[in-house]
Structure 1
Amino acid sequence: MKRKSEHSPKGRGLADRNLMTSLVRASQDEATAGSSGLTESEIYGNMFVFNFAGHDTTAHTFTFAIFFLAANPQVQDWVHEEVRQVLGDRDPSEWHYNADFPRLKRCLSIMLETPRLYTPVPVAKWTDREARQLSVGDKTVVIPPNTMVIPSYASVHTDPKYWGSDSLAWRPSRWINATAPSTTEHSSEHLINPQRGTFLGWSEGSRDYSNPTPRLAFRSRD
């Protein structure tokens, strides 16, 4: 007989809580509700995207995050304080993603500070068939057609001009802006929004809003 904690509120075992099962179940639920649901080809396509666009990059980020946490017990205490404030003594079955996840700002800062120093994927950009103009300060640089451009992520992410004199240090609290004097007042803390172009940890641009990689990494931290 399985313990109660091994089951979700709907009675489904933890063994069923994986991506493939969720995709199939969601498709079946939609089909039951009268919608067409996901086709088998679409399910395979989504699995391919998550495995190759989100799995390795997430694993890479977690590898360094765990290393940094192990080397910085004071950050562990800092994050633990937030988890206790947000989740308290509630049973995991009572946790609510939509309500609890956005409040874990310190946890999220870990997933922002880590790729700042160890970017999972240095994305290359192409000019395609047309030349492109790039404004750099008061200058305009023309990049020829069919040219691959790979930004120096390490240089951008460790520039003291944007990240301070300790830009080479792993300090997740740099992402938190506390509006109240006490840093223990969790409700007063807010994530900062870095200047555009200074943080490329998950690439940048409108495409990122549909990119599953950062969403998978942030969700996986649970």
Structure 2
Amino acid sequence: MNTLGSDTTAQPRTSTPLGRIAAALAVIFATWAAIKLYKILVPPRNLRKYPKAGTWTLIRTLAKRMGYLEQHEVLFEAMRDNALERGIIKSRDETPPVYLTWFFGRWLVVVVNPDDMKLVLTKHDVFEKLPFDVGHTTKFIGQNVAVVQTPEWKRQRKVVNPAFRRGWATSLFGLPARQLIKHLDVVATQGAIMDPAGWMQRMTLDALSLAAFGTNVDSLNHPDAPIVETYNTLMVEILDISKLMNPFYKWSKDGRRALALIEAFDQFIFGLIDAKTANIAARKVEAQVADGGEDDEARDLLEMMVEAAEGTDFSREELRANTIVFFVAGHDTTANALTFAIYLLGMHQAVQDRARQEVIDVMGDMDRGTPADAMPFPTADQERRMTYLSCCIKEVMRLFPSLTIVPQRFTTTAVTLDDGTTLPRDTLVTGDIYSLHRAREVWGPDADVFKPDRFLDSVGHDGQIPMHPAAANFGWTPFGGGQRICLGQQFSLVEQRVVLAMLLLRYTWTVVGDENALKGKPASMPGNLLHAKGIQVRLERR
């Protein structure tokens, strides 16, 4: 019973020491999370002067799984809008020489000018390769000469370089191209429309397997063969960046499937390595072939690497990794380059006719009744004399470089860019090859125009077009540059000249169908490797 006038209001409970500690920890955690989120979403103070596309804009393009060309257009225009608003550029025709982009919670400095591109590509001790271990990428490509950091690269290149830096027999490409032509003759006869991407992918896979292993997987005639299907499925999975953004990818259904595919492909590769090693050992014991007695141009890459690795600490796993990176990079990039060459030559008949006439002048014309199996292919001397065709190839790779960005680097020490900005140690840096190749500041007002003649004034005394980045003051870098330039560059260029020469002798073609492709904007697959999609070509036999 309450006494009249007594205070019945409940008194506040005194917080306990444990409650005060929990509250303090909550505040600390919230502050820490806010700081982390701020650092993720806001660039470092010393880089804020550079334009950027919004983080959420980038995330939306990835979520929509846009093709590279579509995604680049959205992001680059958003970055240009930001640059215009801030007075960094004065018109949309200008390309900011440096911009920022967001990458998995970190900010990258992206250079789009020749001077800084040269710096990034040639100062490999300052701009060190950044390990890229997303999903099962590292398990697939391994620790090879293309991705390892400088100290390890110096060790591996002693074994790998001799196998790459040699001539390549044109038969490595001419023989698979004959098989391609056998199939394309049917397409042309039927008046059917073809997508060159699939055909180039299969042909280059056959040529690459022949050059790398001495074994043609024959995907042109057997596209459903188990190893071909395994490899093609694996490549689609590994390159799908939208899937790799999932932090639980390795444990997902897709991740487990990718792992099984890698293990199956490894069995194939290790089987080839072991067979090659045993074969070389047996030959030496029997003294059937003296060391160095074969023509290097006719020997496959794996054989040369196995021999170069003898007496060194180069492991079986490193042989696998360096064979696979050549297999992936050498096949996929060249297939893309050939696809875009067919596309651009089909869009520009006068250029196609001029390139064809040069091939005829060098090789001679062929009889229309020549069977595919007897189709002539250029000799090494002939393919080197195709100056205008080389201009076409160089211009194709300017407009549609197979690798659109420089693999990411991080600075090992403070370094100063061309505009005077000092980047501190551990800054992430890359180069935008695609945008640099189309910058009006570098290539003039016709930078977006397919114009092979722009390279004719660079013909050397030997009649050849220089294909190294210094020839264009590092404004043309589809193969990278510096000491770590793509080892497969010559392989790719020889293959492109041989295959295009044969196609030009055999066919005329035009681009049809897709309206965007006819306007110069073909569709593409997601990812920084530029894959054309849905190009339609009509072939006619000459």
Residue 390 of structure 2 is matched in structure 1 by: 108
Q: C-alpha distance in 2, partners of 1:14/1:159?
A: 39
| Per-residue deviation, 1:167 | 1.0
Q: TM-score, normalised by structure 2?
A: 0.32
Cα contact 1:126–1:148 (8 A) shared by 2:
yes
Give, as a single letter, the amino acid of the residue that structure 2 aligns with 1:130: T
Asked if residue 154 in structure 1 is aligned to residue 429 in structure 2, the reply is no
| Per-residue deviation, 1:126 | 1.6
Residue 32 of structure 2 is matched in structure 1 by: none
Q: C-alpha distance in 2, partners of 1:124/1:200?
A: 12
Q: C-alpha distance in 1, partners of 2:414/2:458?
A: 44
Give, as a single letter, the amino acid of the residue that structure 2 aligns with 1:113: E
1:153-181 Cα offsets, whole Å, 9 max, x none, are: 233222333322211101112111299xx
Q: C-alpha distance in 1, partners of 2:431/2:448?
A: 18
Asked if residue 58 in structure 1 is aligned to residue 314 in structure 2, the reply is no
Matched position secondary structure for 1:177: helix
Cα contact 2:384–2:464 (8 A) shared by 1:
no
| Per-residue deviation, 1:21 | 4.2
**1:202–1:95 CA distance, 2 compared to 1 (3 A):** closer
Residue 182 of structure 1 is matched in structure 2 by: none
Give, as a single letter, the amino acid of the residue that structure 1 aligns with 2:494: R
| Structure 1 segment 164-183 matched on structure 2, within 5 A | 164-177=444-457
> Which of 202, 207, 217 matches 2:484?
207
Cα contact 2:406–2:433 (8 A) shared by 1:
no
Give, as a single letter, the amino acid of the residue that structure 2 aligns with 1:154: Y
Residue 495 of structure 2 is matched in structure 1 by: 220
| Structure 1 segment 28-39 matched on structure 2, within 5 A | 32-35=288-291, 38=304, 39=306
| Per-residue deviation, 1:94 | 7.8
Q: C-alpha distance in 2, partners of 1:198/1:19?
A: 29
Q: Which runs of 5+ in 1 are unaligned?
A: 1-9, 180-186
Residue 406 of structure 2 is matched in structure 1 by: 123
Residue 360 of structure 2 is matched in structure 1 by: 84
Matched position secondary structure for 1:200: coil
Q: C-alpha distance in 1, partners of 2:332/2:492?
A: 10
Q: Percent identity?
A: 24
Residue 443 of structure 2 is matched in structure 1 by: 163
Q: C-alpha distance in 2, partners of 1:188/1:79?
A: 19
**1:53–1:24 CA distance, 2 compared to 1 (3 A):** closer
Give, as a single letter, the amino acid of the residue that structure 1 aligns with 2:379: H
| Count of aligned positions | 198
Q: Which runs of 5+ in 2 are unaligned?
A: 1-170, 180-205, 215-275, 293-302, 308-315, 367-373, 499-542
Asked if residue 191 in structure 1 is aligned to residue 465 in structure 2, the reply is yes
**1:133–1:61 CA distance, 2 compared to 1 (3 A):** same
Q: C-alpha distance in 2, partners of 1:72/1:162?
A: 23
Give, as a single letter, the amino acid of the residue that structure 1 aligns with 2:390: L
Q: C-alpha distance in 2, partners of 1:70/1:217?
A: 21
Q: C-alpha distance in 2, partners of 1:199/1:150?
A: 15
| Per-residue deviation, 1:220 | 1.8
